[in-house]
């Protein structure tokens, strides 16, 4: 299954760790610091630059072609779709 994040952009649902409301997450000093560090280190992928309503935290696990070791890649996507809508689309929230 896939999750549509907006602007014709989809990600595998199995990679999703969390879907976070942007407005409420920026009220927390720790979360704001986390997002600032993630942006500095290049972990944030902006689907939209303005009107960000949610952050989708993902981690992809792939095998290295040569060694067979697991490679974990973390990406935080900025979406203009609300966290409630994304949660409904993902099936994480039932009966809302």
What is the tally of structural domains in the chain?
A: 1
The residue among 91, 86, 29, 96 whose CA lies nearest residue 57 is 86
Provide the residue range defining the domain that includes 84: 2-90
Model pLDDT for residues 51-95, shown as the tens digit of each residue: 999 999 999 999 988 999 999 999 999 999 999 999 988 886 665
Would 96 be classed as within a structural domain?
Answer: no
Would 95 be classed as within a structural domain?
Answer: no
Judge if pTM exceeds 0.75: yes
| Contact yes or no for 19/56 (Cβ under 8 A) | yes
The residue among 35, 3, 41, 10 whose CA lies nearest residue 21 is 35
């Amino acid at each position: 299954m896939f999750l549509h994040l907006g602007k014709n952009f989809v990600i595998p649902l199995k990679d999703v760790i969390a879907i976070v409301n942007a407005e409420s997450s920026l009220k927390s000093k720790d979360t704001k610091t986390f997002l600032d560090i993630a942006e500095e280190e290049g972990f944030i992928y902006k689907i939209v630059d303005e009107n960000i309503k949610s952050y989708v935290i993902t981690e992809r696990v792939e095998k290295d072609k040569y060694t067979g070791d697991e490679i974990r890649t973390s990406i935080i996507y900025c979406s203009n779709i609300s966290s409630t809508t994304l949660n409904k689309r993902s099936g994480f929230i039932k009966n809302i």
